[in-house]
Amino acid sequence: MATTQSQFLMNLSHGLSSQRNLSADNRVSSSSCQITRKNRSWAFPVSLKVEKFQLQRGTRRRGSPCLVKNGIGDADGIIIVDHGSRRRESNLMLEEFVKMFKDKTGYPIVEPAHMLCLLFADVHTLHQELAEPSIKDAFSLCVQQGAKRVVVSPFFLFPGRHWHKDIPSLTADAAKEFSGISYLITAPLGLHNLLMDVVNDRIQHCLSHVEGDADECLVCAGTNKCKLYNSS
């Protein structure tokens, strides 16, 4: 049975902070970009050119009303946009992530946005609308809070149609309503070395759960999805 909205919100209220540590025998080494397990190791081909960026700390200059070169200032707004879902619970996860991101970075203006076009019909007509908040909504909120430059960050793994066409089109349309506002659309997450830690962390926790050594993570809680299936 799918988790109810109230249960989902209760799970989120406890935060999506780290719940577990990787075991000594199963871990990701960020420095070597290599997943290591006892007696086995897998290395990424050099041709993949996995990006190893260090987190930029201290680039946000508090109290400065101007734009900051190579950093986020008080006149910058950030929009984190995902695909969106017809399920409200899924959309709530982006909102929770945005809160966590804002708290972690200290950036003053951070807004969520969804891409998904919702389709629904009445007796006579098929309707469509963007899941809320849309990029247009988020852009407007950034400007209302004093943003002079808006950074749109796609919460996608790889570049596809949304990154190449839809997000630029929707952002340009949103910007038309304001003068003197610049904007940037960043690259998607891509081949970033920190993603290996995230994927490996999920794998290790789910394995621990099905073996009875850990509770369900906040994503799976109440869904009964995190379990072993046996082929017939």
**Domain membership flag for residue 92:** yes
53-64 confidence digits (pLDDT tens): 454 544 554 444
Q: What is the mean pLDDT of residues 38-57?
A: 45
**Domain membership flag for residue 119:** yes
Q: What is the mean pLDDT of residues 21-30?
A: 39
pTM for the whole structure? 0.65
Counting the structural domains of the chain, the total is: 1
**Domain membership flag for residue 206:** no
**Domain membership flag for residue 105:** yes
In whole angstroms, give the CA distance from residue 55 to residue 67. 20
Task: Give yes or no for residue 114 having a pLDDT over 70.
Answer: yes
**Domain membership flag for residue 22:** no
Strand partners, 81: 113, 154
CB 130 within 8 A of CB 166: no
Q: What is the mean pLDDT of residues 135-160?
A: 94
**Domain membership flag for residue 38:** no
Q: Which of 27-31, 94-98, 137-141, 196-200 is least confident?
A: 27-31
For 67, 112, 113, 119, 137, the CA distances from 154, given in Å and listed in that order, are: 22, 10, 9, 22, 16
Q: What is the mean pLDDT of residues 121-140?
A: 74
Q: Which residue range is the domain that position 157 belongs to? A: 76-185
**Domain membership flag for residue 64:** no
Q: What is the mean pLDDT of residues 110-116?
A: 89
Q: CATH code at 131?
A: 3.40.50.1400
CB 166 within 8 A of CB 129: no
Share of the chain above pLDDT 90, in %: 33
**Domain membership flag for residue 195:** no
Average pLDDT of the chain is 74
